[in-house]
Each structure stands twice: as structure tokens, then as C-alpha cells.
Amino acid sequence: MREPIRRVLTIAGSDSGGGAGIQADLKTFSAFGVYGMSVVTSVTAQNTVRVHGVEALSPEFVSLQFEAVYADIGVDSVKTGMLYDAQIVMIVAQKLYSCTIPNVVVDPVMVAKGGDTLLQKDAIEKVKHELLPTATLVTPNIPEAEILSGIRIESPSDLREAAIRIHKLGCGAVLIKGGHLKGDAVDVLFDGDSFSRFTSRRIATLNTHGTGCTYSAAIAAGLARGLSLKKAIQVAKKFVTRAIQEAIPLGKGHGPLNHFIRIEEIE
Ligand code: PXL
């Protein structure tokens, strides 16, 4: 008998350019053969070059979208991305506390590649103290990990210390993405007991827009399909690496990844 399809929800911002945010998440969910749903928190007017504008939805409407899909369809796995302001972070944290979704991946999106704000400053404390404790996994890049941990990260030992500090905020596990350091792209997982490393070769390309979104969406999809945390990260990392290698050169700036990677080829 065929297994029932897994249901995966993204709570994130819309990228009109189609490379990051909700659009990247839904493309990734399809590549992983899971059923994708979305709660839109905010809308960006954006292309591969820059963000032209941002508008947030009301927290009430974010909540309404969540309730509509959770009550009727159900959710095996959720990921959060761009949440934009403190009120939206609070409502999302409340929803995740009060329902029972087995896998919660929090991508603590803060700033776009071009420097535009995707999370307002006064929302950071809410992410740390309200949202992170609901997470099975949190996936900061190095600048985000520095803000969440309060320490500078310049070496692998700083990175491990930051992971321990972020874990103390109450999440199940922390995956710090090392792509912003020099050399190979080494990501470090801390699950409260031990560290694991996930390594891939650095790829020289401009086409990396939406990498973080795609990675956390792929992990959420893998978890929904019953993979262990480490296996889900391993498969997601391979998927993202291939999607960057085979990226589509569109637009005049940071182009999007190629989400048409066959996951059967990497599992
Ligand atoms: O990659 C972070 C990110 C998340 N969500 C949205 C974005 C971006 C980056 O530009 O636009 C909507």
C-alpha cells in the first residue's frame, strides 16, 4: 500500500522573485514529494538584485491562515522563515506552543543578502525567548548565530560555543551553517549531547539566493518523511549543494537555485 503523503507547512515571507521564502520552500517540498502548505507572514517586492519593499500581514491574519490549515489538513512538519516583526513572532510562537506538530524547524531569518531587514530589531528577543523553545531544530547562519548567542564567531571553537549557548535558549538542536567562514562549507550540529559536522565543497557562484530557505525546507521535508535529524540534514545538504551546482542563471544579481533535483538520486 502507498504511504500517506506527508504534510509540510512553511510560515514565511513571499519573495516575488521566486528564489527565496515561501516560493523556495514550496518548490523544495515538491522536490521531496511532500504536500506543501503556506502561511504568509509578509510580502517582499524583490528580484535577484534587491528588495524593493516589504509589507507585513496582520498577526490576526497570520493566525487565521495557520488555524485554517492546521484544523483541516494537519501538519507533520513545519518550518518558519521570515517573520518580520515582534507581533508575528509572538503569534507564531503561541501557535507552535499550543499545537502538537512533531517537527518544528526554525530558520531565524534576519537580513537579506543585500542588507535589507527581514526581521525588525525588537523582534530578536522574542525569537530567542518565545520562538526558539518551540523548535526541534534551529538553523542560523553565522551572523544570525552571533546575534542569538551574543558572541563573535571567528573559529570552529567559537562556533561550538555559540551552538551550546543557543541550545541553552531551549531548542532541541542547533545547526550553525558555516558557509560564511572561509574554506569548505562546514555546518555544525549540536543536539545537547554531541557535535556532528556536515561538509560540502564551496562552490564559486553568484547563484545562491534562497539557499538558507531551501536548506531548512528540505530538512523539514525529510523529517516529515520519517528521517532521523542527522539523516535529514545530510540529505538536505546534498540537495542544496546540487541545487547550487545546477543553479539557473536568471536575473542580473544573485540568481536562484535549481529546485528540480531528483531526490531519489541523493538519498
Ligand atoms: O533568504 C532569506 C529570505 C527569506 N525570506 C524571504 C527573503 C529572503 C531573502 O531575500 O526574501 C522572503
Instruction: State percent of the chain over pLDDT 90.
Output: 87
| Ligand 1 close to Cβ of residue 43 (< 6 A) | no
Report if residue 124 sits inside a domain. Answer: yes
pLDDT recorded at residue 100:
92
Q: What is the pLDDT of residue 264?
A: 86
Ligand 1 center to residue 109 CA distance, Å? 7
Q: Is 12 in the pocket of ligand 1 (CB under 6 A)?
A: yes
Question: What is the predicted pLDDT for the residue at 20?
Answer: 97
For residue 178, tell me if it sits in a domain: yes
Give domain status of residue 2, yes or no. Answer: no
- The region of weakest confidence among 131-140, 204-213, 233-242 is 204-213
Q: Is 255 in the pocket of ligand 1 (CB under 6 A)?
A: no
**Ligand 1 center–CA 82 separation, angstroms:** 6
267 has a pLDDT exceeding 70: no
- On whether residue 127 sits in a domain, the answer given is yes
pLDDT in tens, 10-33: 999 999 999 999 999 999 999 999
State the total domains in the chain. Answer: 1
| pTM, 2 dp | 0.97
| Domain that residue 26 falls in | 7-258
| Any domain includes 184 | yes
pLDDT > 80? residue 193: yes
267 lies in a domain? Answer: no
In a domain, 130, yes or no: yes
Q: Domain holding 209: CATH number?
A: 3.40.1190.20
Is pLDDT of 183 > 80?
no
- Show Cβ contacts of residue 204 under 8 Å, excluding neighbours closer than 6 positions: none
Where helices occur in the chain by DSSP H, the ranges are 21-31, 59-72, 86-98, 124-126, 142-149, 156-167, 211-224, 229-245
Does the pLDDT at position 164 exceed 90? Answer: yes
75 lines ligand 1 (CB under 6 A): no
Going by alpha carbons, the residue nearest to atom 6 of ligand 1 is 21
Residue 157's pLDDT band (boundaries 50, 70, 90)? very high
Render pLDDT for 32-61 as a digit per residue (tens, 0 to 9). Answer: 999 999 999 999 999 999 999 999 999 999
**Residue 1 pLDDT level (bands cut at 50, 70, 90):** low
Q: Which three cell numbers stand for residue 130?
A: 518565545
The verdict on residue 87 lying in a domain is yes
Task: Find out whether 185 and 202 touch, Cβ atoms under 8 Å.
Answer: yes
Catalytic residues: 177, 208, 210-213
